[in-house]
């Protein structure tokens, strides 16, 4: 499990053996079964999490019990509630496993320590956060300016590699549309 994370690091930054050992020494390995929570609403998130295997989702549940998925994560992606972590406040989000998963966790203080001691790691994290900000900004723009069909077409185009792994109802939730609407869109695309 950790070897996958090390390969990820090696593909992005150059680390000394001592730096690699420091990162490994503070990592926490965790396995989750399908539908098992990594974070539940109301808990304070304490980690940075890297997915080495499986598919996860991050979502909120509204007062009517409706799930609103804001993020999916797959192998070689990071997942977590940064607001809860940085402010040490109860999370408004849930993170659970769509499939059996394996993750590498770092406590907030250990992650900050790694960033301060290893500039290449800090720069990599900064680049990931910047890219994530741009993706979220584009998603917001898409959600307020595009039709349901355009949002679905964009999703399939950008995430074709894992869209087949995610149940259609979850994709609909992520896109902010009803499952019936997504079903109609998919039938219409099939007929074209």
Domain boundaries, the chain: 1-118
**Token pair of 176 as six digits:** 């902010």
- Which stretch of DSSP H or E encloses residue 8? helix 2-12
Q: What is the pLDDT of residues 48-72, one digit of tens each?
A: 999 999 999 999 999 999 999 999 9
> What's the fold here for domain 1-118?
Jelly Rolls (2.60.120)
> For the segment 106-121, what is each residue's pLDDT rounded down to a tens digit?
999 999 999 999 999 9
Residues lower than pLDDT 70 in the chain: 192
> Which residues on adjacent β-strands are paired with residue 107?
47
Scanning the structure block, which residue is given the tokens 């595009």?
146
Q: How many CB atoms lie within 10 A of CB 95?
A: 23
- Among residues 82, 23, 97, which one has the least CA distance to residue 47? 82
Between helix 17-25 and helix 108-117 the angle, nearest 10°, is 170
Tokens found for residue 31: 């396995």
Please tell me the number of Cα atoms within 13 Å of 138 on its side-chain side.
10
């Amino acid at each position: 499990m950790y070897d996958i994370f090390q390969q990820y690091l090696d593909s992005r930054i150059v680390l000394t053996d001592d730096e690699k050992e420091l990162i490994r020494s503070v990592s926490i390995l965790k396995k989750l079964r399908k539908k098992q929570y990594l974070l539940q609403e109301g808990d304070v998130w304490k980690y940075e999490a890297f997915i080495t295997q499986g598919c996860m989702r991050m979502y909120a549940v509204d007062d009517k019990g409706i799930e609103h998925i804001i993020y999916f994560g797959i192998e070689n992606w990071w997942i977590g509630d940064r607001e809860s972590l940085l402010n040490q406040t109860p999370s408004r989000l849930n993170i659970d496993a769509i499939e059996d998963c394996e993750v590498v966790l770092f406590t907030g203080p250990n992650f900050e320590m790694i960033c301060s001691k290893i500039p290449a790691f800090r720069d990599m994290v900064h680049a990931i956060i910047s890219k994530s900000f741009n993706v979220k900004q584009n998603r917001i723009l898409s959600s307020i300016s595009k039709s349901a069909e355009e949002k679905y077409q964009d999703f399939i185009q950008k995430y074709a590699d894992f869209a087949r792994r995610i149940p259609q109802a979850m994709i609909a939730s992520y896109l902010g549309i009803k499952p019936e609407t997504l079903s109609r869109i998919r039938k219409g695309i099939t007929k074209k």
